[in-house]
Structure 1
Amino acid sequence: MTQKTIAFFPEAAFGPALNSVGIAQACEKLGHKAVFLSDPGFVEVYQGYGFEAHPVALSEPMEPEAMAKFWEDFINGHIPNFRKSPIDQIDNYVKDCWEAIVDSAKWAQKDLPGVLDAIKPDMICVDNVIMFPAIKQYGVPWVRIISCSENEIPDPLVPPHLSGCRVDDPEGMKAYDDRFKAVIKPIHDDYNAFLAENNEAPYELGEFFEPSPTMNFLLYPEPVKYPRETPLDPAQFQYLEGCVREEEPYEVPTFKANNDKPLLYISFGSLGAGDTDLLKRIIKTVSTLPYRALVNVGDYIGEYDDIPDNVHIASWYPQPSVIPQVDAVIHHGGNNSFTECLYFGKPAIIMPYVWDGHDNATRVQETGHGFGFHRYDWSDEQLAEALNTCLTDTAMQAKLAATSAHMQSRHGPTKAAGILDGILQA
């Protein structure tokens, strides 16, 4: 086999970044070289896993610490909007995000051609919600990875991306789609003008990306996939059944109380950890229940004191090594957390705040793998009841076991690496 160079270009967020790490690890096991194109703030993340990483400016250049602070402030500034329904987030959080995403594509176009010429990849795998003309035009096969919900690929029967709608709510789906298109139109027009400047055809209103003609990987597992009017062609679309990376082992600490009780894992991701009031409220509730809990508090560990004896907090956990050891998970609906819980057969209570967390919260409940909760409108009694159901409901446990067995029998990163290898060797 001839070694090929595969360039991975994930969005500057831990979900897509770590999914690509999982696929890259599997590609290197087959003898290929994996390199990363990276937002400057994420270069060290890939280097930490032993990969070569090349910075690509996705915004006005600034120090990595300043960039991290920018996104932290961006999220924290929107905390009041986290109380709103998905449709009521369109003209604040969603609009602001799409403005920043379009700007990132414009900035990337300045760096990408030169970086690609230096790397000379044989294939490019891009995991983002927007198309970068330089990727499409470089002249080698490009593969799209869809780390967010499967509904990034639209279909009349599938709820709109970010809507949180149920599949049996066509009126809600239409209302969301209409509102999204109305708010997004000026941003979309600006993006289409950018595409025209780079000799690319415009996209239809509401679309910012297209499927790769070569291959598209969906991180969603098949047991929770959406029914579609037009089924996705397996020759162009493959479900990876999650993409769980290899991570360092984790030893569960000894707790001062409830040490023989069921173990919970609570995490709202690196950015969601800024919602410290909510995490403190959950910790207070859990302190009264017959459980133990590991709580990811991100960079805000200094804001916590008087930790209950049945709770352990940390700034970071090696999540794929933690989830197999717990009995239930409370999380924000990020696609990594969503698929990892399913992969390891763990029930989840999803309290979404933005983006595809809304979709995953709805989907986990309507497929019987857990519960979707409003982020704030719940009582201690409701949370206790949902946790008890997660731990004792035999139908839910059976469904989770079947989904886990299905996903683990396929192993997404290995499947992805095999498909990429086949494309490169063709």
Structure 2
Amino acid sequence: MAKKAVKKKAARKVVKKAVAKKPARKAVKKPKKVIALFPEAAFGPALNSVGIGQALEKLGHKVVFLSDPGFLDVYKGYGFEAHPVNLSEPLPPEEMAKFWVDFINGHIPNFRKTPFDQIDNYVKGCWEMIVETAKWAEKDLPGVLDRIKPDVVCVDNVILFPAIKHYARDNKKPWVRIISCSENEIEDPDIPPHLSGCGEKDKKGFASYRKRFNEVIKPIHENFNGFLKSVGEKAYPLGQFFEASPHMNLLLYPSAVKFKRRHRLSPKQFQYLEGCVRKDAAYKVPKFKKNNDKPLLYVSFGSLGSGDVDLLKRLITTIGKLPVRALVNVGDYMDQYTDIPANVLIDKWYPQPSVIPQVDAVIHHGGNNSFTECLYFGKPAIIMPYVWDGHDNATRVEETGHGFKLDRYEWTDDVMADRITRMLTDKKMKAKLKKTSKDMRKQKGPVKAAKVIDGLLRRKKAA
């Protein structure tokens, strides 16, 4: 998709004088501001940032992406300039692909565990790798920033990249933190700990999760603090790997599901975007061999969750017996599927923001893009979480009445059929979703984000 430049026209009055006319002066174009977006190397943050980038370009700014080499083509595919920043040891593409396949397959047994029981394996393993990404970024990032010279840097990650703070400080430029996961990434004693999947009133669960998380994470955190000291940064308290930006923090979390905090987040420093849905390729729903007059479901467990082939096969079989149709995202595992029911179509990828508006309900893993897009388009969802903030979003979708939480493995055909039927027929849920969708659409998340960032650039002095 080619990038479109925003043209500005200046209207000038012609002042008539008795003797002669003054020649009209040519409009002077303001130089574009350079805005660098640096999302985590995952599709959720990456595609959220694409939406923000698209809106920033419409305001006339130049948007560049800083990216793990494996995601460069994602941004280039949307027409953006992208610069590589290694977040791990450089490997040939085929070796990197094998690494991630092995990583996913190795953790599939952990998908069956509770959020608490995942602390010792999946969560621990992820934080070990995340700390290493911060160390690797420090090798490339200072030079990339000095070369690009951005007027503002926006980072969407769960860990500090010290080079961004240093660049902002040394050049008197603002930096923005984007929180694309659940809002509990910004801690508060009265809301569930990030990744815990606790309900909002489960104070005992809060304490239990925080205690175990800190016990397991302590040696990893000490390693990270050692790295911070080596680059001139102060140590973080146990359990903390990032900080709020003093300039601005953008939360994608929708207001309809946000928590009641003990400590209010000041709008001068924190803004809720109500999601950040990007524009994607148009999608036309194909004809099915069966049930073309029945409700349409969309099923996707994300790039990681698609590796859980046995679960998707079981779900496809169950849906095949119901009076519905379904589009199912199976990722890079197409060759492992045979005997697909006549009311099901599978593919390796769907332009999700173009698909969800056309379906009646969604079954997904709780990733923040899927979570916010369902709310944005007013679609009920069954969330079957397996890791990370999927647990938080699954709990939240049910306790706010926007859908259902369902264990990925402990369900029967009858339970699944019941939840699908209730999603399609629950009038109270539909009314709530309609209101939430209306409120979110009014905010226009990407446009709001672009205006907030643009406002930072207009300040005479950065905070």
Same fold per TM (> 0.5)?
yes
State the distance in 2 between where 1:230 and 1:65 align: 47
TM-score of the two chains, using structure 1 as the length reference: 0.99
**Counterpart of 2:349?**
316
SS at match of 1:86: coil
- Structure 1 residue 76 displacement after superposition: 1.6
Match for 1:180 among 213, 232, 237? 213
SS at match of 1:399: helix
State the distance in 1 between where 2:252 and 2:303 align: 20
Residue type matched to 2:138 in 1?
Q
State the distance in 2 between where 1:41 and 1:69 align: 13
Could you give the per-residue CA deviations for residues 164-194 of structure 1, whole angstroms, max 9, x where no partner exists? Answer: 0001100011100100000000000000010
State the distance in 2 between where 1:256 and 1:343 align: 30
SS at match of 1:165: coil
- Structure 1 residue 65 displacement after superposition: 3.4
Check if 1:196 corresponds to 2:238.
no
**Counterpart of 1:286?**
319
**Counterpart of 1:69?**
98
Check if 1:37 corresponds to 2:66.
yes
Between the two proteins, what is the percent identity of the paired residues? 70
- Structure 1 residue 64 displacement after superposition: 3.0
Residue type matched to 1:344 in 2?
F
Q: Is the 8 A contact 1:285 1:380 kept in 2?
A: yes
**Counterpart of 2:120?**
91
Check if 1:114 corresponds to 2:143.
yes
- Structure 1 residue 271 displacement after superposition: 1.5
State the distance in 2 between where 1:347 and 1:79 align: 27
State the distance in 1 between where 2:104 and 2:219 align: 23
Match for 2:49 among 17, 20, 23? 20
Runs in 1 of length 4+ with deviation above 4 angstroms? Answer: none
- Structure 1 residue 66 displacement after superposition: 2.5
SS at match of 2:70: helix
**Counterpart of 1:405?**
438
SS at match of 1:37: strand
Q: Is the 8 A contact 1:158 1:167 kept in 2?
A: yes
- Structure 1 residue 75 displacement after superposition: 1.6
**Counterpart of 2:6?**
none
Could you give the per-residue CA deviations for residues 296-323 of structure 1, whole angstroms, max 9, x where no partner exists? Answer: 0000001001110000000000000000
Residue type matched to 1:49 in 2?
Y
Match for 1:325 among 339, 349, 358? 358
- Note the residue ranges of structure 2 that are not aligned, 5 or more in a row: 1-29
Residue type matched to 1:43 in 2?
L
- Structure 1 residue 117 displacement after superposition: 1.0
- Structure 1 residue 202 displacement after superposition: 0.7
SS at match of 1:113: helix
- Structure 1 residue 417 displacement after superposition: 0.3
State the distance in 1 between where 2:97 and 2:444 align: 32
- Structure 1 residue 270 displacement after superposition: 1.2
Match for 2:187 among 154, 164, 172? 154
**Counterpart of 1:57?**
86
Check if 1:129 corresponds to 2:158.
yes
State the distance in 2 between where 1:348 and 1:2 align: 45
Check if 1:390 corresponds to 2:423.
yes
- Structure 1 residue 67 displacement after superposition: 2.0
SS at match of 1:306: coil
Kindly report which structure 2 residues correspond to 1:202-351, keeping only aligned pairs within 5 A, or say none: 202-351=235-384
Residue type matched to 2:131 in 1?
V
- Equivalenced residue count is 426
Residue type matched to 1:90 in 2?
I
State the distance in 2 between where 1:174 and 1:72 align: 34
SS at match of 2:318: helix
Check if 1:46 corresponds to 2:75.
yes
Residue type matched to 1:87 in 2?
F
